[in-house]
Amino acid sequence: MPPPTSPTIVSPSAYPVFYSGISITLVPLDATNTIPINEEFFYEFQRHQSTYEAQYCFKALKMAPDTWFNDQFYTSYFMWDSFTSGVAISSMRNDKNGKFGNDFAQLEYMNVTVVTSNKPYGVHDGSNPLFKVRGTPKFGLKRDGVHSGHVQTGITDSFCSVKGSNKGRCEDGYTKEVSGPEAVHIRVATGAKPNVDKYSPLDREFFKSFLDLSEDSQPKFFALFLFYLIKLSL
């Protein structure tokens, strides 16, 4: 989980989800960036194409290195969506069986919150959709509360600009680690688990499961779904 100075970007609509009381496993970019598609995985995938699903998915993936803009594909192309899907399914399966942990990701419990507006609070300038200039705020929010500040309207929003810096000061739509009554205790993935088989050419546990699944004749829909997520990011 990134520290407050390097928050994870989420949709502001994530706020009611975080505070709903349901079980949440957050998979930030810090975690998905620990599982790049390296050469070992790519060549092992190339060798494991015994099903039509695997053949289709490998061809979809192969378009990426074939058209990559430089020679750094194997260090800059990550399994963001497919890894996150695997982490989610593993968490749901383990929760159902009364187990903590995840087959593919290292997890920690952290206290986080979703930032929905920016200081100073109580600035009703029309940017915040939860607060009208006149009338009752949505969801019973307080007019001077932590959700009542300015909401960034775009990358050129002057309110968020810092003179002489290319980094803005607005944080709405971020999650960050906090303490206090506004914090929510959730599970956060901090990285991809290494492969327990030290003799395998694959260095991540998820890689092994990924390839095993692509060659399984039963859960073909699941295999297609995982690789379809790769295709979406091309």
Q: Cβ contacts of residue 194 below 8 Å, gap of 6+?
A: 203, 204, 205
Per-residue model confidence as pLDDT tens digits over 73-88: 998 889 888 899 889 8
Task: Give the pLDDT of residue 69.
Answer: 86
Question: What are the C-alpha distances in Å from 181 to residues 113, 127, 178, 184, 185?
Answer: 10, 26, 9, 8, 11
- In terms of pLDDT, which residue wins out, 113 or 225? 113
Neighbours of 11 (CB within 10 A): 9
Question: What are the C-alpha distances in Å from 43 to residues 40, 71, 144?
Answer: 5, 16, 57
67: enclosing H helix or E strand: helix 52-67
pTM: 0.75
Percentage with pLDDT > 70 across the chain: 84
Task: Give the pLDDT of residue 3.
Answer: 41
Task: Give the pLDDT of residue 38.
Answer: 93
CA atoms within 13 A on the CB side of 86: 29
For residue 179, which phi and psi values (nearest 5 degrees)? -125, 160
Average pLDDT, the chain: 81
SS3 content of the chain, % helix, strand, coil (to 5): 35, 15, 50
Q: For residues 111 and 234, is the Cβ–Cβ distance under 8 A?
A: no
Banded pLDDT at 10 (limits 50, 70, 90): low
